Every structure is written in C-alpha cells, then in structure tokens.
Amino acid sequence: MGVYVNPGNEGFSQIVADEYVDKTGLIALVNRTIGKPRPLVCVTRPRRFGKSFAAQSLVAYYCRGCDSKPLFDGLDISRDPSYEMHLNTYNVLRLDLTSFTTVNGDDVVPALVSRVVADLADEFSDVVQHAELDLALLDVVRFTGRKFVFVIDEWDAPLREAKGNETAKEQWVKCLRTLFKNASFTPDAVACAYMTGILPIKKYGTQSALSDFREYTMLDPDAYAPYVGFTEGEVRMLCERHDMDFVEMQRWYDGYELPGVGPVYAPNSVMESCRRHKFGSYWSSSESYTSLARYIQMDFDSLQMTVANLIAGERAPVNVLRFQNDMSVVESADDVLTLLAHLGYLAYDEESQTVIIPNEEVRLEFASTIRAGGSPELARMVAAADRLLQDTIEGNESAVAEGVARAHDSQLGPDWYNDEQALRFAVKLAYLTSVDKFALIEELPTGHGIADVVYLPKRYSRIPALLVELKWNKPVVSAISQIHEKRYPQVLVNYGGPLLLVGITYDTKTKSHSCVIERMRR
C-alpha cells in the first residue's frame, strides 16, 4: 500500500471503529458516474462538515489490494445494486491537498508530481517508465488493466494558500486539466473522480479547464444534500444515544436548511458536543477569527449594516451569482455574504435568496469576532449593547431608552423608522451582543397573546430573563399593562429564574423613546 496510490482502508477502518454515522449512500451516487461521459464530481462544503470522512470511505471502497467487505457489509452502500460490482476493484489515487500547503507556492505542483510518481514506482516496480504524472499513471493502467479512481480532498487548498500567486494557481489548474480534460488520458485512465473542497470551481478565470466536473455546492447540493452534514433524524438518534437535549442541540447547531433534506447540522460540532456531553462552540478559534474578521471588516456599501442586521437575527438578501468563487476576488457585499455561506458562517435559502446566521454556535463566532476586531462602528455598538444589557438588569430605565434611541440613530439603524417593526429592529440592534448570554425568541405565543421579544438566559446563568413589549405612539405604562393583562409571564412559568418585564415605546411626534422596567416576583 502506498501513501497516495492504493493507500488501503485503514483510514476508514479507524472511522468505523469510533462512532460512525452511516453516510455510505454517497458511494452509490459516485458509482452511478462510472462508465458515463463525465464521471467527474466536485462536492464543496465548509470545514467541519465531514469532507475527509467521505473521502476515506471512497478510498476504502474502491481501493484494490485490500478487503473492505467486512467494513461495508451492513452499511447503506451494501444494499445498493452496485455494491459488489465496484468494491475493491480500482487503482486509487488519493490526494489531500492540505498536506502540500506548507510547500512554497510555485513548488506545489512539482512536489505533488514528484511524490505521486515515486509512490507509483514503489507500488509498481519496473512498470512506471515516465516522470510525467499522466504518463506514469497510464503506465500503471496498461499494466494492470484497471483504471484509476481519483479522490482529491481539499482541491482548492493550493488556490486558497496561493492568494495573489497567479503562477501557482495556473500550475495547479493546468495539472487538473492534464488529468481530467485530456482526450489522450482521461477516457483511458479515469474511472471516476471525486473532488471535495470549500469553494466551487466553475468561475475561476481558467474555468474551461475544469468545466467537465459536475458541481454540488453548499448553495446547491442537489442529490448530495443528504451527505452534506447530519440530518435531523441522525441528530435525534445521537441525542438519544448520548442522553443529550435535542432542543438544545437544535439551538446550537441547526440552521442549515437544504432542499429535500430539511435541517442539516455540522457533524464535527454535534459529535464534539456528544463526546464532551456539553454544548458550546467547537470552531477553531484562530481559524474562525482570521477568516471571519477579514471579510466582515471590508468597506463595502451596507455591509456593516447587514452584519449587524444578521447578528440581530434578521435575514439579508444576497445575489450569489456574481461571486467568482475565489477568496482573493471579493468585490462587493454580495460577494462577502456568498463567500460566508460557502464557509458555513451563513445559511443560504434559495427560495427567498437570503442568508441568515444559522445557529447559536455561529452567532457566538460573529459576536466574539466583532469584539476582538470588528469595524469601529460595529465595535462601538458592541460596547453600547454590553452597557445596555447591564442598564436593563440594573433597572436604569432612562439609560435603556437612550440606548435604544442610539441604536436607531446610528449609521447601522433602520432608515424606515415608521412602524412597530422598525422599533423591534432597533431593540434587537440595541441588544446586539445579547446572543452571548440569551436565546432570542420573537413573537412568543403565550396562550393569551404574543409577547414581542423574549430574551431567555442560557442554562445555568444567573442573569434574569427579559420579556420585552413594544408600543408605538402609546404611553409606556401600556406595554407593562398588556404584559400583565394577557399574562405573558405564564409562558415562562417553568423557567424558574428571575424575570424582568421591559416596556419600550416610541413617540413619533416627540421622536423620543421611553422605557419602564419591572422586576417580576415569583
């Protein structure tokens, strides 16, 4: 077994030996491409979404020279008619491009070719007669009578790392073209190819080089949607197995909605929470800050307003068609939002063509990133929001009214300030960083009416819950009166902790805000 050539099934064997959620149905989809005119698939998704696990399963399934039947018997792929037809039948070339990111940009492709050809020569001594990658692979195909299955993980890593190095990018794309768009090589040597990465490929400047790949992205996964992440049914099963609260799991990691599948969860985060029996953020702190901070600080029209809007729980419209699928070519707010959707920081809804921060885990990443180094305007809003929360807890009504007014008057405030929905937005914007400490629930049914906004503290917190009622051109006491008259607090009877009733009003004549705060005694 080689490092790159026919590496065997040890990687997948270790995965199955742990707690494996069966995603081998993906193999059946790849099997259906074999023998077709375009047996080339590129599936892109964010980090933490199981790309490497999928790659390891494909390597173990196709790789000749090992017996993987005991690994796959009983899994989903074993029930597909194509199962035994392709099992351990092909030569496999497995490339994880992240292993080459430490190589100097201009040397990535020469290093890759040199290592793979050396591996071919070790695996097939006296067979490999050429130093060129495509010719060396053909030497093996002609000797063994078997085509290659290519499994390329993180295909775009060299392009992400190269950044402004156009020469390195062109070398890598040329290498891919030699393998997958070469009339004298591809039909004879390629049984199928499965590439995975973060960014799609079709809009790179040299797009014709890779146009034969069928692409399935986070924005349009099509038949591959069930294998993007964990489905709701799979997460329910894990919660039952590990005695985890499913509702809390939803709040932390749900939010990616894919057509035909429904809610999708990031596998790494779900598994880490189950292993540790603890909900929290399992993003890499250095990775998340560097990539997120860079883009949300960009100086595009309306971007800062949009980011604040997103953190406050709103949706943002986006045109995903303009983005060139290149992290170094970001030219508009739409490009930033589209890129963040590919990176998993936002969830995209195709029907409404909007994005939203998907869940608690990602919302915390946004809030912490802004605190650590957001734009000056966002940073000021974060500091003001922190102060506002403290003023609310202390019952400082005038300070709360002033804080909501500042949120409206800021550059990030709504410019359509003429109804109760605008007031609701201003309140959410004012409490921008409350996501660190609260779950935000809008229009909570109470049995006797609907509470406008409820901020429910996370578990084990000593801070009070906030029940906020909003009024437009009415006395501020009417907001508190409505809370009592319609018995809104009853819906939180099982909460058990302290509760603050907060009434906020806006007077269009005086253009002033008012606030009244009442501590609910239990």
User: Which pLDDT tens digit goes with each residue over 349-366?
Assistant: 988 999 999 988 888 888
- Which contiguous run of DSSP H or E holds residue 132? none
**Considering the entire predicted model, what is its pTM?**
0.82
Question: Is residue 182 domain-shared with residue 302, that is, in the same domain?
Answer: no
Question: Is residue 34 domain-shared with residue 122, that is, in the same domain?
Answer: yes
37: pLDDT strictly greater than 50: yes
Question: Is residue 217 domain-shared with residue 237, that is, in the same domain?
Answer: no
**The tokens 């040329």 sit on which residue?**
174
Last residue of a domain, one of 218, 247, 276: 276
Q: What is the CA radius of gyration of the chain?
A: 27
User: Which pLDDT tens digit goes with each residue over 57-91?
Assistant: 999 999 998 999 999 999 999 999 999 999 999 99
Question: Is residue 486 domain-shared with residue 365, that is, in the same domain?
Answer: no
Tell me the residue range of the domain where 237 lies. 229-276
Dist. CA 279–CA 249, nearest whole Å: 7
206: pLDDT strictly greater than 70: no
Question: Is residue 220 domain-shared with residue 254, that is, in the same domain?
Answer: no
Tokens standing for residue 380: 């000021």
Question: Is residue 311 domain-shared with residue 362, that is, in the same domain?
Answer: yes
Question: Is residue 75 domain-shared with residue 198, that is, in the same domain?
Answer: yes
- β-sheet bridge partners, residue 440: 455
Q: Is residue 216 part of a domain?
A: yes
The pLDDT of residue 54 is 94
Question: Is residue 294 domain-shared with residue 393, that is, in the same domain?
Answer: no
The pLDDT-based confidence of 416 (bands split at 50, 70, 90) is: very low
Give the mean pLDDT of 441-469: 73
Q: Is residue 4 part of a domain?
A: no
Q: Is residue 2 part of a domain?
A: no
Least confident of 6-10, 97-101, 144-148, 492-496: 492-496
Give the mean pLDDT of 391-417: 76
Residue-level length of the chain:
522
Q: Is residue 357 part of a domain?
A: yes
Hey, CA dihedral for 41, 44, 45, 50, is it positive or negative? positive
**What are the residue ranges of helices labelled H in 40-131?**
51-62, 69-72, 83-86, 108-123
User: Which pLDDT tens digit goes with each residue over 288-335?
Assistant: 556 787 888 787 877 877 887 788 778 899 999 888 887 778 889 999
Least confident of 35-49, 130-144, 279-293, 363-377: 279-293
Question: Is residue 116 domain-shared with residue 241, that is, in the same domain?
Answer: no
The one-letter code for the residue type at 256 is: Y
Tokens standing for residue 254: 């749900």
The pLDDT of residue 483 is 83
Q: Is residue 414 part of a domain?
A: yes
Q: Three-state SS for 466? A: strand
User: Which pLDDT tens digit goes with each residue over 269-289?
Assistant: 999 999 999 998 887 644 555
- β-sheet bridge partners, residue 230: 265
Nearest to 382 by CA among 400, 369, 397, 395: 369
Q: Is residue 156 part of a domain?
A: yes
Q: Is residue 5 part of a domain?
A: no
The pLDDT-based confidence of 521 (bands split at 50, 70, 90) is: low
Last residue of a domain, one of 373, 396, 418: 373
22: pLDDT strictly greater than 60: yes
Last residue of a domain, one of 241, 257, 276: 276
Number of domains in the chain: 4
Phi, psi of 136 (to 5 degrees): -65, -40
Dist. CA 2–CA 344, nearest whole Å: 34
Question: Is residue 240 domain-shared with residue 105, that is, in the same domain?
Answer: no
CATH number of the domain bearing residue 18: 3.40.50.300
Question: Is residue 407 domain-shared with residue 338, that is, in the same domain?
Answer: no
Give the mean pLDDT of 155-162: 80
The pLDDT of residue 436 is 64
Q: Is residue 1 part of a domain?
A: no
The one-letter code for the residue type at 448 is: H
Question: Is residue 222 domain-shared with residue 352, that is, in the same domain?
Answer: no
The pLDDT of residue 473 is 86
